[in-house]
Amino acid sequence: MEWFKRVTPGLEPQTKRELPDGLWIKCDNCGEILYKKELDRNLQVCTKCAFHFRMNSDQYIQLLADEDSFVEFNRHILPADPLKFKDTKKYSDRLRDAAAKTGLEEAVRTGRCQLSGMPIILVAMDFRFIGGSMGSVVGEKISRATDIAIQEQKPLVIISASGGARMQEGALSLMQMAKTSAKLALLSDAKLPYISILTDPTTGGVTASFSMLGDIILAEPGALIGFAGPRVIKQTIGQDLPEGFQRSEFLLTHGFVDVIVHRAEMKNHVAQILSYFAQPAAPGKKIRTAPKPRTAAVPVAKSAKSRTAAKGKKTRSTTERSPRENSADE
């Protein structure tokens, strides 16, 4: 199931080579000159070689959610700079620049929507915002989205696109891996389906937490998916990496992806899978009823305290607000 061979290496930013007049784009993979409008119509997939260009969260929401059905929640959760981190650039400046460049508050968007008429909780990461990296806000928004899925008894769909955990928040970023995975354990206990969609790239701490925990894992063709980045592996083993290493097809071969799905087919696939899980047991046959979900309610941490983030802004943790309140910003 290989539509094409991707020749661009690793985690390098995918550059859509726009030609000077702005109407044409050169395909990174096959070199074909593509009419921009044609590429837009074709869901950012090369009409000649089926190379999947990266898409942003808007485009993915449009791809999966029924028209005008997506209602975002928790946009008001904003990044802080708990470590006062500075390398060659201040983290606070990086955040501000990323926000200005993308119009996003963070690297993930979460909300309710309909998918082919079925209500779901949808999470879409956005690689443009600091490489889609996961810090406290990404972890918190995904955790709350999972809480809401449990509370409203809805399936969860997460589209991953990330270079991994965000270094600028140190161990706090690392702990988001445990946090999101722990919430998914509750979702699983509540017998609600979670579909994980892997896009280019999905690596590091994101792959090693919620991305790989889907009940069903779908991947776009040719996406880079792995734990360690190709450059680190190459350096460690001191040899070139085999062709196709860490691509979707490689993961399928090794048993870590259920289905590779062409972008044009993605919505249909997700809908079909969701309807399988949603359908009541076949009539006439006696089926042992499953025990009631153990954790319909979200556990409340008694010790949850508000914390003070950078600049003395009041911060609070998820457990202080009910999911209803969470969506107050809609």
Partner 1 sequence: MANFVLDFEKPILEIERRIAELREFSNSEDMELHKEIERLETKAQKLRLEVYSKLTRWQRVQLARHPNRPYTLDYIDNMMTDFIELHGDRAFGDDPAIVAGIGKIDGIPVTLIGHQKARDTREKIRRNFGMPHPEGYRKALRVMRLAARFNRPIICLIDTPGAYPGLGAEERGQAEAIARNLFEMAHLPVPIIIVIIGEGASGGALGIGVGDRILMMENTWFSVITPEGCAAILYRNSANAPQAAEAMRVTPPDLLELKVIDRILPEPPGGAHNDHVAAAHIVKKAILDELAQLGQLKGEELVLQRVAKYAQMGVWSE
Token pair 């999101």: residue: 180
Q: Which does 241 bind (CB under 5 to 8 A by kind): partner 1, Zn ion, none?
A: partner 1
**What is the contact mask toward partner 1 in residues 80 to 119, using x (rule: CB under 8 A)?**
x-xx-xxxx-------------------------------
Give residue 201's Cα distance to chain centre.
10
Q: Which residues contact 43 (CB under 8 A, 6 or more apart)?
A: 55, 59, 63, 263, 264
Rounded CA separation 211/63 (Å): 19
Work out the number of other CB atoms within 10 angstroms of the CB of residue 25: 22
Instruction: Report the residue number, 29 or 102, with the smaller CB distance to Zn ion.
Output: 29
Do residues 110 and 323 touch, judged by C-beta distance below 8 A? no
43, 99, 118, 167: residue in contact with partner 1 (rule CB under 8 A) = 167
Token pair for 59? 């485009």
> For residues 172-211, which are near partner 1 according to CB under 8 A?
172-179, 181-186, 188-189, 204-205, 207-211
Of these partners, partner 1, Zn ion, none, which one is at the site of residue 27 (CB under 5 to 8 Å by kind)? Zn ion
Q: 43 contacts which partner out of Zn ion, partner 1, none, CB within 5 to 8 A by kind?
A: none
Site map for Zn ion, 18-47, x if CB under 5 A?
Answer: ---------x-xx-x-------------x-
298 is a site residue for Zn ion (CB under 5 A): no
Q: How far is the CB of 34 from partner 1 (least distance, A)?
A: 32
Contact in structure between 54 and 224 (CB atoms under 8 Å): no
29 binds, among Zn ion, partner 1, none (CB under 5 to 8 A by kind): Zn ion
CB neighbour list of residue 304: distance below 8 Å, 6 or more residues apart: 316, 317, 318, 319, 320
Residues that bind Zn ion (CB under 5 A): 27, 29-30, 32, 46, 48-49, 51
